[in-house]
Chains A and B, each alone.
Chain A
Amino acid sequence: GQQVMQIPQYQHVQEGEDFTTYCNSSTTLSNIQWYKQRPGGHPVFLIQLVKSGEVKKQKRLTFQFGEAKKNSSLHITATQTTDVGTYFCAGEVVDSSNTGKLIFGQGTTLQVKP
């Protein structure tokens, strides 16, 4: 079936270090979304990428969508303790039914040591 693989599963960094999580889909995506879930919380939408090769920035966060629309990455520059949480990518598969169904990656849990 359609899958979205996300690596790494866990990442521990020292505060101030950079962090990257990668997402790969087995099929072409119409768009990819990123969500953040704080410990004990619910997923919260961060961003959506739609165009091939698209790059978007939110302060210290940089999101990329691959040229083939099958992979994506999230890079955090100079991590802070507030960045702690699990980051999920979620792809919407190219589908004529337009249901909005997302396939989530397994998530990358980021721990930041102060």
Chain B
Amino acid sequence: DAGITQSPRHKVTETGTPVTLRCHQTENHRYMYWYRQDPGHGLRLIHYSYGVKDTDKGEVSDGYSVSRSKTEDFLLTLESATSSQTSVYFCATSVLTDTQYFGPGTRLTVL
């Protein structure tokens, strides 16, 4: 597997608090993605990046923002967490627009 780490791996937070999840890669891959995984929905794209400071929205971007100031780091921020954002979050990277390599995931619970 590609060198992709996510932090934290587990987080419990309260409604209304800001949360930032970090994805770090050591492979120098150009593309990075944030997905959420919920039962019955598969993986849904939140935001993606096609280069440093180049990001765009996915299909479920409301309530989320991202930043990519370095090739290796892609941050996902929930400005004001809601219970509907309780989910497992996966980061992924790719060299070109082909194989995506996934990180281990972050389990987020919003109470």
A contact set with B: CB distance below 8 Å: 1, 6, 9, 31, 33, 35, 41-45, 48, 88, 90, 92, 98-107
Contacts and interface: CB of A to CB of B under 8 A. Distances in A.
A88 B43 contact: yes
B50 interface: yes
Interface string B15-33: 0000000000000000101
Interface residues of B, number: 28
Contacts of B102: 42-44
Contact of B96 (A6, A100, A105): A100
Contacts of A98: 97
A106 B99 contact: no
Given A6-B42, A48-B98, A100 B103 contact: no
A104 B43 contact: yes
Interface of B: 1, 31, 33, 35, 40-45, 48, 50, 56, 58-59, 90, 92, 94, 96-105
B97 A99 contact: yes
A102 B45 contact: yes
A43 B90 contact: yes
Nearest to B1: A44
A45 B101 contact: yes
Contacts of B33: 100-101
B99 A45 contact: yes
16 contacts: A9-B40, A33-B98, A33-B99, A35-B100, A43-B92, A43-B102, A92-B97, A99-B31, A100-B48, A100-B50, A100-B97, A100-B98, A103-B45, A104-B44, A106-B41, A107-B42
Given A43-B102, A45-B99, A92-B97, A101 B43 contact: no
Contacts of A104: 35, 42-44
B59 to A, nearest CB: 7
A2 to B, nearest CB: 9
A38 B99 CA distance: 18
A48 B99 contact: yes
